[in-house]
Structure 1
Amino acid sequence: MPQEAPATAAREAPQAPPAKRRDAYFDNAKYLAIVLVAVAHAWEPVMEGSRATRAAYMFVYAFHMPAFIIISGYFSRSFQARPDQLKRLVSGVVVPYVVFEIAYTLFKRWADDDPDYPFSMNDPIYLTWFLIALFVWRLSTPLWRSVKWPLAVALGLAALGTLTPGMGQSLDLQRILQFLPFFVLGLSMRPEHFQMLRRREVRLLALPVLAGAAVAAYWVAPDVRMGWFYRSTSAVELDAPWWAGPLVTLALFGCAVVLAAAFLAWVPRRRTWFTVLGAGTICGYLLHGFLVKSLDYLGVVARYPWLAEPAGLVAVTLAAAAAVTLLCTPPVRRVLRFATEPELSWAFRQDVTRLSGRAADASSRTSR
């Protein structure tokens, strides 16, 4: 009997709830979206003179970042600015912003032969704008969860942003406001909305929607200024009348939501070979910019003009997709953890660190 007591006690002892598994669907979506981001960035130096490439670039730019931001908003729904959440926000967003803002500045100084290019924490360089935007959006989450018509208010702010020239010069505030509605939309979504996108009829409808958008992009490619898709400048700065800003904001929002829904409808629900890469998209996002900028800074396209020809465009596309895939792999994520997922326990009180430990990876797991 004494020998059975420990076993009985073990059976009766409360067991910790099993850790939630990551949702393969969202990891797949994040990986596929980051591939589109990298490919579109790689097209920038080589698309001049090619209407088809410019159209493809415009088509992808219409929804790739909106889709990524919608998912970011969806996984920010539980953010209440608790101390442990603020700790993760600092370690997962603020630290990577500072590290890569410095890294991209140093890279430009060296690769672009511009030794006097200034450091500036309030002027995001290249793709680091997304980190500072995510920081602002997530901090404002409790507000958006409290107001009555959050999406309408966010769209109003985005429209007003297009009427304010020069606003993008500090913290890329123009982009923060113009992409804000997608984050707020993600905050407003529930699991059943994504379930709806996976219905067979929705997936079938998504095909003609995507095809029609691609044809429309080819038709308007020579006449539409890409600045509208970057959302980094006001209407006046794009040589458009002031009233065009709010109208284009609403039109692009509608197009982006429809195309993002069509894209998400075809994201695989099951685990695939690339599902594990969804956890490393922050690495792929932050690192692929060095490769893309090398094409520009080092004059690679000028040296090898065949890259702007059809065969070269295919090679650039495949190379960008392969490179960002490698940059999302677990080994790269582990090596880069000091910059993208630092522990920072030394900088916070012990009670906050304990709370963060219990909630680690909560933002990347399936929402309840």
Structure 2
Amino acid sequence: MTTASTIRPAVAVRPAPGGRIALWDNARALLIGLVVFGHGLESMRGSTSVDVVYAVVYAFHVPAFLFVSGWFARADRLDAKALLGTSRLLVTWLLAEAGWVVLRLATGEPPFPGSFLVVPSWTLWFLVTLFLMRLLLPYLARLRAPLVLAVVATLGVGLLDVGTAFSASRTICLLPFFLLGWWLRGRGLDRAAWFLAPSVRVRAAAGAAMAVAAGAIVLLMRQDAWTTQLLFWRRGYAGMDLDAVEGVALRGTVLVIAAVMTLALLVLAPRTRFRWSSVGQHTLTVYLLHGPVIELLRRTPLDDAVPSGPLALLLAALLAVVLVVGLGNDLVGRLLKPLTEPDWALRRLSPS
């Protein structure tokens, strides 16, 4: 006899037309909303309320995105066809950099700064990092304990001054989250009933874990050694005025907190499809377009007029909703498809 517990997981992950699963579209939509919200708060920091919310959001939103990316990554041998697919990200990055050149020209800034292409423009570092992680995965997957080695590298690279060139520091530091997503799916998490259709008790535990992890960030912020730079993953310990012991301890703690919050969010994410779930199909579109919009808004008098505090949180949340809904719809996604899926630029290199 078939029981309810065996039915629920199948219902929870039943793909929508086109093969998309609500859980992952919902998770992506929530995460891109947090990304836009966090960037909207960037220039409004200064009050305790804004600084705390900013730190909690930055503690896990990018690690969670990389976890989801790793979940769907393939560790097959990197042949010519797979390499071309991964190279989409590289082409998208270069095209987006050209857009930032135009934006700098329009605002009267030098269009080609000295770090042009060496240090990706603002949010574009994520594309370079994701490209490198996908490129490395087939080789890392052959190692005995790639996740453990990645964590060691994350903690150890802080002893060096790797820098932001080609997003090197962030790629090394955030690699554990990408590998964690790939590793957990390979270990059957995508078939675990408690994950596919979490009970009320499991969701309550996830909510409690999220709250505890957020509280841990608040407690860390009260420590003398704390710096928000720990959430950006781009500096060595010396560059954050930390000694080796402090740096390893704090980065290790943030690593654990980010992993807990990532898994908690995925458990809490709805398993049913809503009207806003379609945003999950266009997160790259939102990611590419929201940066220039926020950058232009920062240059308006409104940016200086908003005091840091609850009003800033409200306005940043409203801005995030407007941008996510406005940029994450099917129409904008189709219009920007030559940028987000630049197959036209790779067609001549495609293997026969």
Short-chain TM bin: 0.7 to 0.9
- C-alpha contact 1:108 1:117 (8 A) present in aligned 2: no
Question: What is the RMSD of the two structures over their aligned residues, measured on CA atoms?
Answer: 2.2
In the other structure, the counterpart of 2:27 is: 29
- 2:88 matched to 1:77? no
Deviation of 1:109 (Å): 4.4
- C-alpha contact 1:35 1:325 (8 A) present in aligned 2: no
In the other structure, the counterpart of 2:95 is: 99
In the other structure, the counterpart of 1:59 is: 56
Single out whichever of 288-297 and 213-222 deviates more from structure 2.
213-222
Structure 2 regions of 5+ residues with no counterpart? 1-16
Deviation of 1:112 (Å): 6.3
In the other structure, the counterpart of 1:199 is: 198
Q: How many residues align?
A: 328
The amino acid that maps onto 2:168 is L
| 1:11-22 paired onto structure 2 within 5 Å | 21-22=19-20
Q: Return the alpha-carbon distance in structure 2 between the equivalents of residues 216 and 140 of structure 1.
A: 32
1:32-59 Cα distance to aligned partner (Å, 9 max, x none): 11101110111111122x1011111111
Q: What secondary structure, in the 3-state scheme, does the structure 2 residue paired with 1:270 have?
A: coil
Q: What secondary structure, in the 3-state scheme, does the structure 2 residue paired with 1:334 have?
A: helix
Matching residue within 108, 122, 139 for 2:135: 139
Structure 1 regions of 5+ residues with no counterpart? 1-18, 352-368
Distance 1:32 1:186, change over 3 A: same
Q: Return the alpha-carbon distance in structure 1 between the equivalents of residues 313 and 52 of structure 2.
A: 13
Matching residue within 36, 39, 43 for 2:37: 39
Single out whichever of 24-33 and 339-348 deviates more from structure 2.
339-348
In the other structure, the counterpart of 2:259 is: 257
Q: Return the alpha-carbon distance in structure 2 between the equivalents of residues 153 and 214 of structure 1.
A: 27
Q: Return the alpha-carbon distance in structure 2 between the equivalents of residues 107 and 298 of structure 1.
A: 15
TM-score by length of 1: 0.83
| 1:291-306 paired onto structure 2 within 5 Å | 291-298=293-300, 300-302=302-304, 304-306=305-307
The amino acid that maps onto 1:135 is F
- C-alpha contact 2:282 2:328 (8 A) present in aligned 1: yes
In the other structure, the counterpart of 1:174 is: 169
1:156-193 Cα distance to aligned partner (Å, 9 max, x none): 1111211111x123212010100011111111112742
1:208-240 Cα distance to aligned partner (Å, 9 max, x none): 222233344444446531100100000000000
TM-score by length of 2: 0.86
Deviation of 1:311 (Å): 2.7
Single out whichever of 124-133 and 310-319 deviates more from structure 2.
310-319
1:232-274 Cα distance to aligned partner (Å, 9 max, x none): 0000000000233332232211111111111111111111112
- 2:246 matched to 1:244? yes
Deviation of 1:350 (Å): 5.6
Q: Return the alpha-carbon distance in structure 2 between the equivalents of residues 27 and 129 of structure 1.
A: 23
Single out whichever of 175-184 and 272-281 deviates more from structure 2.
272-281
Q: Which has the larger radius of gyration?
A: 1
Deviation of 1:151 (Å): 0.6
- C-alpha contact 1:51 1:222 (8 A) present in aligned 2: no
Q: What secondary structure, in the 3-state scheme, does the structure 2 residue paired with 1:262 have?
A: helix
Deviation of 1:297 (Å): 3.8
- C-alpha contact 1:51 1:221 (8 A) present in aligned 2: no
Q: Return the alpha-carbon distance in structure 2 between the equivalents of residues 337 and 325 of structure 1.
A: 17
- 2:124 matched to 1:125? no
Q: What secondary structure, in the 3-state scheme, does the structure 2 residue paired with 1:255 have?
A: helix
In the other structure, the counterpart of 1:210 is: 210
Q: Return the alpha-carbon distance in structure 2 between the equivalents of residues 139 and 226 of structure 1.
A: 30
Q: Return the alpha-carbon distance in structure 1 between the equivalents of residues 276 and 77 of structure 2.
A: 32
- C-alpha contact 2:71 2:181 (8 A) present in aligned 1: yes
